[in-house]
Amino acid sequence: MKRIAIAITLLLVMLALNGCVYPQIEKVKRFFVPPPKYEWIKKVDEKGDFGVFDILNKDLGKKEYFPFSIENGTKFLHIYIQVNFSKPIGYLNLTIVTPEKNITKDYLTLAKSYKYDDFLYFDNPKPGNWKIVIKVTGIGEYRLLAEAYQKA
């Protein structure tokens, strides 16, 4: 009851000071309606392994698809990929299909490290259907995590 009396008093004072009604009503509404709550929501959480026999197909490698959707008002999206190759030759192609464009990253062991950790960050990601495509050749394992900071 005390909040209502304060809100009415504030509304009357604001009206008297500038005479503009609509912006003041919006401010009073914001006073009573709490802002939306945001939280991290997992979109993809996968672990997989790959071996020599996974190349026996038309793609010459193991290919995995991970579709998910991004809602309106999502503030952040991050994608984490970890790859561990157990033999000297290995290749992983990560493609992120967004509503706007495709983003591709390659991880290769030839004369490089056998382990990769990568973090991709998107600020205000475009809402719609997204997809992560992994094509891998060699022997090893991977972990893929995608989380969105959106309304609960």
**pTM across the whole model:** 0.73
- Domain 38-151 fold is Jelly Rolls (2.60.120)
- Distance (Å, whole) CA 31 – CA 39: 22
- Distance (Å, whole) CA 122 – CA 116: 20
Burial (Cβ within 10 Å: 0-12, 13-18, ≥19) of residue 86: middle
Whether residue 94 has pLDDT greater than 70: yes
Position 92 scores a pLDDT of 87
Position 90 scores a pLDDT of 81
Position 2 scores a pLDDT of 77
Residue spans per domain, the chain:
2-32, 38-151
Whether residue 39 has pLDDT greater than 60: yes
- Do 152 and 37 touch, CB atoms closer than 8 A? yes
